[in-house]
């Protein structure tokens, strides 16, 4: 980091920035195009850039608690996730389209979708009840979002309470429903004892249905004082009997499910004016779903002894005859034989009397799916025992499109891999196609398009139907200079080596399998060496790789470790420093066969490595920066003042320059910003134009730039966004827009050292976003002579010098001298590597390579080389054997002397 700030330029006079959603209160427009644009004062120079944003493909990775088909238009379907927004099905591409990427930083909780409703009277209308937590974790109240164009744009009505998209009970529902006869009327079941709410103006305004008698009383864990487990799960579903209304006239009979084991179903027969508990209903259970089959006049309930989605030890399925009031237990198995609850429930609208249900909490050996074709009188199962532990199945399962769903497991029967799933609280039969069914799990959406094979005795085929739906929570990202372009540390599914950003990886990291990877790092000068740490039920919490993350082996760990924490690799792979949960900071040489406690640094500190000096490591805790110069054995506190003492702080060292460190973080109630040091943390300079910053990363330098490209997630000029700087922070460019905000993006960001402008951004539920700039690398050859055809009289000499070398890589400097009589107006130098070397990164030139043949072309500022002058460039490369020097160089096919 630099010890003094560089001057920051003034705001561009013509700058305009989009402002985001209006303040909570009155209904707000959530459509980016509807939001007013305002010029904001700043003391940094900002510019705009057009980026192309896509997901790094993983496909799924999180819980899908709800799938909703429209009842009047074929192929119109939606899916909701607990933290990653909502999606619409695209039949032409058989993929999901994200609908809530506009959700901004301040309202990140709106990425948690508590319920969805699709309007059968007008299929263009769709509604989403959003909000992630009902306690203090979520700073904003919940809202009902409404769209009249199938989710392409939205308006929001903020509620006077919070919603529970990622709370216990989130798989029950749907809480939100549109009256199929009078679509201006909607109902919403609220958590936390807030009762039943109704809108009569298509979701614009809402009021409590004060006549509804029971706000619920069930909580997962009444002893929990955090507001999470002890929250009243409230009113969990609303179902209309469409037969009791007509077009334009409100439906009279409405059924409501309540989280109350003694009083779980209520009904109104007068359009919601009055309500009563239905007599004779089952007790001792919660009704997770209530689905009415109008063809037979039956209301079906799937019940569990808990609210899910993880728990549930007993369950039943009951049927209510709406005409006679008769209740009947139609469960597929005896109560004594259940060790799970029932939840997923759907009726076949094309085949009267056909329904399906799931055993959502059957974790071992697998989930179970049940099917009845006689209104629940008899059932068959997706799989049966054929003499324990062997199983026979009515299905085949093909996960080749998402191969990591096998988890790399080799279980003993009766377990199988892949599994049918777990947390299977959403199952829907297509109302227009009896052969198509989709169901959500804790990791994906599965489905079939030949479901009726079940009834004919042949097997139906289950495949992932999750393309486009990305739901991972991202903890850390790394983009090495060679090998795979991206390595990821993810919640729940561990993480991946991404060799192709647009292809689903074959497998997550294994050996060890970590439930969540909290931190990973590679050795800067030896990027084949990678270390990762994370959470697991038991040891190990750490893994090592020597082939860039392709294969792993378990590391030993010091006693007392309870969680992953952060980890750092020495620049030359000679050692590691680890700050795990449950134990103090540790260091080791080799691959962790023996750990020793580091001194001078507190437990829980965040650790990183210098990217050039292999003996230098850094740490940070509670406002103090720490430095080690002996491989992490001892740390010394630095006296830098003004750093944030509270809140999340993340920092990184710049590759290739010792002691160059950037630090981001803080809290809104204290110190918050971006700092830079060029002396290993002895002094830090705050960038005054950056109001808030949360993560920082580096990428390939722009053409002609002397410093690596900086990327930050930050607030600049009162605008939250993803920003880029090509001049070491003097000026910043916002590279996302209001349509691409993805809620909270503070955990990690990194550029790509090989592709100028490319950036990888973490989200908390929308997976890994990557963006590519529209302005290329800002370089390339100048107009003029084709560099492949030098002018007459051209002559050249080359000096090639290896300036550094390590186990599997090297650095070289090259000087091209114009020894001819004519100036070069653009140049392209070619050579052949004798030992299979590969260029990993180049500066002051644009690299190209096919096999052993390599090229370097000028950038915009060094294309003109006068007679007698020279141009220089450098690069790093990888080795797989020797490092012989190229013996011949050519300028556009004309041989150069030297070498």
Residues ≥6 apart with Cβ < 8 Å to 246: 181
| Residue 453 CA: distances (Å) to CA of 24, 258, 389, 396, 603 | 51, 36, 25, 11, 59
Has 835 been annotated as catalytic? no
Q: Which residue has the tokens 């951004």?
A: 761
The full DSSP string for 191-222 is STT--EEEESSTTSS-EE-TT--------S-T
Q: Are strands 796-806 and 894-898 parallel, antiparallel or unpaired?
A: parallel
**Residue of 492, 572, 679, 777 with catalytic role:** 492
What is the Cα 332 distance to its own chain's centre? 38
Q: Quote the CA–CA distance of 333 and 331 in Å, as a whole number.
A: 6
308 torsion bin: left (phi>0), alpha (psi -120 to 50), beta (else): left
Q: Quote the CA–CA distance of 605 and 186 in Å, as a whole number.
A: 50
Has 775 been annotated as catalytic? no
SS3 406: helix
SS3 721: strand
Q: Angle at the Cα of 323 (from 318 to 327), degrees rounded to 5?
A: 25
Residues ≥6 apart with Cβ < 8 Å to 478: 486, 487, 488, 520, 521, 522, 530, 750
Q: Residue 650 phi/psi, 5° resolution?
A: -130, 145
Helices (H), strands (E): how many in the chain? 1, 73
Residues ≥6 apart with Cβ < 8 Å to 516: 475, 490, 491, 492, 494, 534, 535, 564
Report the chain's C-alpha Rg in angstroms: 30
Residues ≥6 apart with Cβ < 8 Å to 543: 509, 511, 512, 514, 531, 532, 533, 552, 553, 554, 555
Residues ≥6 apart with Cβ < 8 Å to 178: 117, 118, 119, 120, 121, 125, 127, 185, 186
Cβ atoms of residues 556 and 535 within 8 Å: no
What length does the chain have?
899
DSSP 432: T
Q: Are strands 889-891 and 828-832 parallel, antiparallel or unpaired?
A: antiparallel
Q: Angle at the Cα of 576 (from 574 to 577), degrees rounded to 5?
A: 150
* Positive or negative: CA dihedral 131, 132, 134, 140: negative
Residues ≥6 apart with Cβ < 8 Å to 610: 571, 616, 617, 618, 653, 658, 659, 680
Residues ≥6 apart with Cβ < 8 Å to 801: 812, 813, 814
Q: Which residue has the tokens 């030993």?
A: 556
Q: Quote the CA–CA distance of 833 and 879 in Å, as a whole number.
A: 11
Q: Residue 890 phi/psi, 5° resolution?
A: -135, 140
Q: Angle at the Cα of 888 (from 885 to 891), degrees rounded to 5?
A: 125
Residues ≥6 apart with Cβ < 8 Å to 892: 786, 787, 788, 789, 790, 794, 827, 828
| Residue 57 CA: distances (Å) to CA of 389, 741, 748 | 36, 18, 17
Q: Quote the CA–CA distance of 726 and 702 in Å, as a whole number.
A: 6
Residues ≥6 apart with Cβ < 8 Å to 273: 211
**Residue of 59, 82, 348, 694 with catalytic role:** 82
Q: Which of 542, 534, 743 is nearest to 102 (CA)?
A: 743
Active site residues: 82, 492
């Amino acid at each position: 980091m630099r010890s003094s700030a560089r001057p920051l330029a003034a705001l561009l006079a013509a700058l305009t920035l989009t402002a985001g959603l209006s303040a909570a209160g009155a209904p707000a427009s959530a459509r980016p195009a509807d939001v007013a644009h305002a010029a904001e004062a700043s003391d940094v120079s900002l510019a705009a850039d057009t980026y192309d944003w896509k997901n790094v493909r993983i496909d799924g990775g999180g819980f899908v608690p709800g799938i909703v088909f429209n009842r009047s238009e074929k192929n119109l379907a939606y899916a909701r996730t607990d933290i990653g927004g909502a999606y619409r099905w695209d039949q032409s591409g058989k993929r999901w389209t994200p609908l809530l990427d506009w959700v901004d930083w301040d309202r990140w909780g709106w990425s948690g979708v508590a319920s969805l409703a699709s309007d059968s009277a007008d299929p263009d209308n769709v509604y989403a009840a959003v909000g992630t937590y009902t306690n203090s974790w979520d700073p904003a109240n919940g809202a009902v979002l409404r769209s009249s164009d199938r989710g392409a744009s939205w308006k929001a009505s903020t509620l006077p309470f919070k919603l529970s998209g990622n709370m216990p009970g989130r798989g029950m529902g749907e809480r939100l429903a549109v009256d199929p006869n009078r679509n201006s009327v909607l109902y919403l079941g609220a958590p936390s004892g807030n009762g039943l709410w109704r809108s009569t103006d298509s979701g614009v305004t809402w009021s409590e249905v004060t006549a509804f008698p029971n706000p619920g009383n069930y909580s997962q864990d009444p002893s929990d004082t955090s507001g999470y487990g002890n929250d009243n799960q409230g009113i969990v579903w609303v179902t209309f009997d469409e037969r009791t209304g007509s077009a334009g006239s409100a439906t009279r009979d409405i059924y409501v499910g309540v989280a109350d084991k003694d009083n779980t179903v209520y009904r109104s027969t007068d359009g919601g004016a009055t309500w009563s508990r239905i007599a004779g209903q089952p007790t001792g259970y919660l009704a997770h779903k209530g689905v009415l089959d109008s063809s037979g006049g039956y209301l079906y309930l799937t019940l569990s002894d808990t609210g899910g989605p993880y728990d549930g030890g007993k369950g039943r399925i009951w049927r209510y005859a709406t005409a006679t009031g008769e209740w009947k237990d139609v469960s597929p198995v005896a109560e004594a034989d259940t060790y799970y609850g029932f939840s997923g429930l759907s009726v076949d609208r094309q085949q009267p009397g056909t329904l399906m249900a799931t055993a959502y909490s059957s974790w071992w050996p697998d989930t179970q799916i049940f099917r009845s074709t006689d209104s629940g009188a008899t059932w068959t199962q997706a799989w049966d025992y054929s003499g324990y532990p062997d199983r026979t199945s009515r299905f085949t399962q093909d996960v080749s499109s998402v191969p990591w769903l096998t988890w790399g497991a080799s279980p003993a029967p009766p377990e199988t891999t892949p599994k049918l799933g777990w947390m299977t609280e959403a199952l829907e039969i297509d109302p227009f196609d009896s052969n198509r069914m989709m169901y959500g799990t804790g990791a994906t959406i599965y489905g079939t398009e030949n479901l009726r094979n079940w009834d004919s005795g042949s097997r139906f085929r289950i495949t992932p139907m999750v393309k486009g739906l990305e739901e991972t929570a991202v903890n850390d990202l790394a983009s090495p200079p060679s090998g795979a372009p991206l390595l990821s540390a993810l919640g729940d599914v561990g993480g991946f080596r991404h060799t192709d950003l647009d292809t689903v990886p074959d497998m997550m990291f294994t050996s060890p399998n970590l439930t969540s990877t909290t931190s990973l790092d590679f050795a800067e000068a030896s990027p084949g060496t990678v270390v990762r740490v994370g959470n697991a039920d038991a040891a190990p919490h750490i893994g090592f790789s020597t082939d860039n993350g392709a294969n792993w082996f378990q590391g030993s760990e010091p006693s007392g470790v309870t969680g992953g924490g952060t980890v750092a690799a020495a620049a030359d792979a000679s050692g590691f420093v680890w700050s795990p949960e449950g134990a103090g900071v540790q260091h080791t040489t080799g691959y962790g066969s023996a750990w020793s406690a580091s001194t001078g640094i507190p437990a829980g500190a965040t650790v990183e490595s210098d990217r050039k000096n292999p003996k230098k490591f850094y740490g940070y805790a509670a406002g103090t920066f720490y430095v080690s110069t002996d491989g992490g054995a001892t740390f010394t506190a630095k006296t830098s003042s003004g750093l944030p003492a509270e809140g999340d702080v993340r920092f990184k060292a710049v590759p290739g320059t010792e002691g160059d460190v950037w630090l981001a973080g803080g809290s809104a109630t204290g110190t918050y910003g971006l700092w830079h040091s060029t002396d290993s943390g002895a002094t830090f300079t705050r960038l005054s134009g950056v109001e808030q910053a949360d993560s920082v990363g580096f990428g390939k330098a722009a053409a002609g730039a002397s410093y690596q490209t900086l990327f930050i997630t930050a607030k600049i000029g009162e605008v939250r966004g993803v920003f880029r700087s090509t001049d070491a922070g003097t000026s910043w460019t916002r590279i996302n827009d209001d349509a691409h905000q993805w809620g909270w993006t503070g955990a990690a960001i990194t550029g790509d050292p090989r592709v100028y402008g490319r950036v990888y951004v973490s989200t908390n539920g929308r997976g890994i976003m990557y963006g590519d700039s529209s302005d290329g690398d800002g370089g390339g050859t100048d107009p003029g002579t084709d560099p492949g055809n030098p002018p007459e009289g051209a002559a050249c000499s080359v000096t090639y010098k290896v300036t550094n070398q390590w186990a599997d890589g090297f650095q070289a400097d090259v000087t091209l001298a114009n020894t001819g009589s004519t100036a070069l107006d653009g140049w392209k130098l070619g050579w052949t590597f004798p030992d299979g070397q590969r260029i990993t990164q180049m500066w002051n030139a644009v690299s190209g390579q096919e096999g052993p043949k390599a090229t370097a072309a000028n950038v915009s500022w060094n294309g003109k080389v006068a007679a007698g002058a020279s141009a220089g460039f450098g690069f790093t490369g990888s080795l797989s054997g020797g490092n012989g020097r190229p013996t011949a160089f050519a300028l556009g096919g004309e041989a150069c002397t030297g070498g």
